C-alpha cells in the first residue's frame, strides 16, 4: 500500500472516530442523568425507610408503654374513678398525673379525692369508660364506638381535665366523614350547642371551634323540612344560630320560627 493510501486510511479512521465523539458525549450525558436519577431515588428510598423505622420505633414504644399500663391496671390499680351513677372504674395514678397538669394538680393537692384515692367526675359510666380507655390505651381501636352523645359527653370531660390527646382523638372521630359514628340531626344540634358553650368559656379552644364548624356545616346541608322538624333546633342559643346561618346557602335561609 502506498504512503498516500495509508494516510487516507488513517485519516478516514480518525474522521470516523471524531464523528463518534458527539454520540459518546450524548451517551455519557445520558449515563450521568440516569445515575443522578438513581441516586435521587436511592436517597428518597433511604429517607422513606428511615421514616418507616422511626414510625415503627414510635409505635413499639407506645405499645410498650401501653403494656405497662395494662399490667399496672390489671395487677396494681391505685386509683378509682367513680361515675355519676356510682360505677367504680380502676385507673393508674401515674397515667393520670402524666396525662395533664390539671389531673396532676388534682392528685397532688392533698384534697379529699387524693386522700381517698378517688375521683368523682359528674359523667355517665359509658363516657367515663371511654375517656379512661383513650388515656390508658391511646393507640388501640375501641371494640365498638360509643354513640355520638357519649363521645360528646366524653369530650366535655376531656376538656375539663385538659386531656389534649384524648380531645384530639374524640373530635377526629366525631367529625370524620368516614367514621363508624353516624350522627343524627339531634346529635349535631347538641354538638353545636355544646361547642358554643365551650367556646364562650374559652375562645382559643380549637377543638370546640372545629366541632362547631363541623356541626354547623352538617346542619346546613340538611333538607329544610328535616331541619325544621327537629325539636331541639328551637333550643339553640343566639351564637349557635348565627353559626348555622353563616353556613346556610341563601336558598335555605327561611328557618322556622324559634
Lowest mean pLDDT among 39-43, 52-56, 69-73, 131-135: 69-73
For residue 178, what pLDDT band results from cuts at 50, 70 and 90?
low
Concatenate the DSSP letters of all residues of 109-135 into one string. S--HHHHHTEE--SS-HHHHHHHHHHH
Q: What is the pLDDT of residue 207?
A: 95
CB-CB contact of 220 with 181 (8 Å): no
- What confidence tier does 113 reach under pLDDT thresholds 50, 70, 90? low
Least trusted range by pLDDT, from 97-101, 175-179, 232-236, 240-244: 175-179
- Per-residue pLDDT at 213: 92
Check pLDDT > 70 for residue 107.
yes
- Kindly report, residue by residue over 180-197, the tens digit of the pLDDT: 567 889 999 999 999 999
Cα–Cα distance for residue pair 180/144, rounded to 1 Å = 9
Partnered with residue 117 across adjacent β-strands are none
Residue 112 has pLDDT above 50, yes or no: no
CA distance linking residue 164 with residue 171, whole number of Å: 11
Q: pLDDT digit string (tens) for 133-154?
A: 898 877 666 667 889 999 999 9
Q: What is the DSSP letter of 235?
A: G
Amino acid at each position: 500500500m502506498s504512503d498516500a493510501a495509508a494516510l487516507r486510511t488513517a485519516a478516514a479512521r480518525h474522521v470516523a472516530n471524531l464523528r463518534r465523539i458527539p454520540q459518546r458525549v450524548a451517551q455519557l450525558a445520558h449515563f450521568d442523568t440516569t445515575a443522578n436519577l438513581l441516586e435521587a431515588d436511592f436517597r428518597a428510598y433511604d429517607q422513606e425507610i428511615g421514616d418507616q423505622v422511626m414510625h415503627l420505633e414510635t409505635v413499639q414504644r407506645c405499645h410498650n408503654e401501653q403494656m405497662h399500663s395494662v399490667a399496672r391496671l390489671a395487677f396494681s390499680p391505685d386509683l378509682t374513678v367513680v361515675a355519676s351513677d356510682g360505677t367504680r372504674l380502676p385507673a393508674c395514678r401515674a397515667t393520670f398525673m402524666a396525662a395533664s397538669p390539671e389531673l396532676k394538680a388534682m392528685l397532688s393537692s392533698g384534697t379529699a379525692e387524693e386522700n381517698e384515692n378517688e375521683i368523682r367526675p359528674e359523667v355517665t359510666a359509658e363516657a367515663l369508660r371511654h375517656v379512661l380507655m383513650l388515656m390508658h390505651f391511646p393507640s388501640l381501636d375501641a371494640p365498638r364506638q360509643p354513640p355520638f352523645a357519649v363521645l360528646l359527653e366524653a369530650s366535655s370531660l376531656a376538656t375539663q381535665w385538659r386531656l389534649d390527646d384524648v380531645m384530639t382523638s374524640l373530635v377526629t372521630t366525631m367529625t370524620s366523614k368516614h367514621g363508624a359514628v353516624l350522627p343524627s340531626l339531634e346529635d349535631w344540634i347538641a354538638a353545636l350547642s355544646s361547642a358554643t358553650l365551650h367556646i364562650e368559656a374559652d375562645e382559643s379552644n380549637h377543638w370546640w371551634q372545629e366541632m362547631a364548624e363541623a356541626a354547623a356545616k352538617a346542619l346546613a346541608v340538611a333538607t329544610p323540612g328535616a331541619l325544621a322538624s327537629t325539636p331541639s333546633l328551637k333550643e339553640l342559643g343566639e351564637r349557635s344560630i348565627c353559626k348555622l346561618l353563616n353556613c346556610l346557602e341563601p336558598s335555605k335561609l327561611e328557618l322556622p320560627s324559634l
